[in-house]
Amino acid sequence: MDSADTSVQGFHEQGVYPCPACRLGQIQALSLMDAMACNACRHIFTANLERQWLLMVDRSPPLVWHWNGRNWTGAHVEGVKLGWRYWLNAVAFVLLPPVLIGLSAYIVTDSGAPLPLLSIVWTGLTFLFHLALIGRSVIGFYRFPVGTYFSVMGRNLLSR
């Protein structure tokens, strides 16, 4: 609440705002340009003042945030949402391969005999690998800049 003057006002291009991408820097208008930039992560934004939107234009498709008078909400890719189809595919992608591997190991193993350890390890690894791929895809979709976040944090700590 240190910027009480602008915190409850509408978003305008002359103001200074917290950066919605890295949440550490501040964005303000670039001189001579119809764009805004963050002083920490260097992302470039353009504003839609009518709709109180901010678009991160240096990625494609651009990410959009909405200014609610106090802060930025709802990062999403313009015109795209992670709908139920995506999550259905994600669940199938994570679960199907290990199930198939586990099932085939179960079928070729004599009934009553324990599953070979290798098959169990292999099934587990397949599950983890696919889970990691989906995690990466979701982080990439929202493009939460984990690397930027930590490098700016590190810089702030060092400069103290």
The interface region with Zn ion, picked from 15-23, 74-82, 93-101, 126-134 by CB under 5 A, is 15-23
Does position 22 interact with Zn ion (CB under 5 A)? The reply is yes
Q: Does 54 bind Zn ion (CB under 5 A)?
A: no
Considering only 11, 15, 17, 21, the residue that binds Zn ion (CB under 5 A) is: 21
Task: Give the nearest distance from C-beta 58 to Zn ion in angstroms.
Answer: 11
**Which residues lie below 8 Å from residue 37, measured CB to CB, with a gap of 6+?**
27, 28, 30, 43, 44, 45
117-142 and 84-108 are packed helices; what angle lies between their axes, rounded to 10 degrees? 170
- Partners of 63 in beta bridges: 56, 77
CB-CB contact of 45 with 37 (8 Å): yes
Q: How far is the CB of 19 from Zn ion (least distance, A)?
A: 3
In three-state secondary structure terms, 25 is coil
64 touches Zn ion by CB under 5 A: no
Q: How far apart are CB 148 and Zn ion at their closest, in Å?
A: 7
Nearer to Zn ion, 24 or 90 (CB): 24
Count of residues in the chain: 160
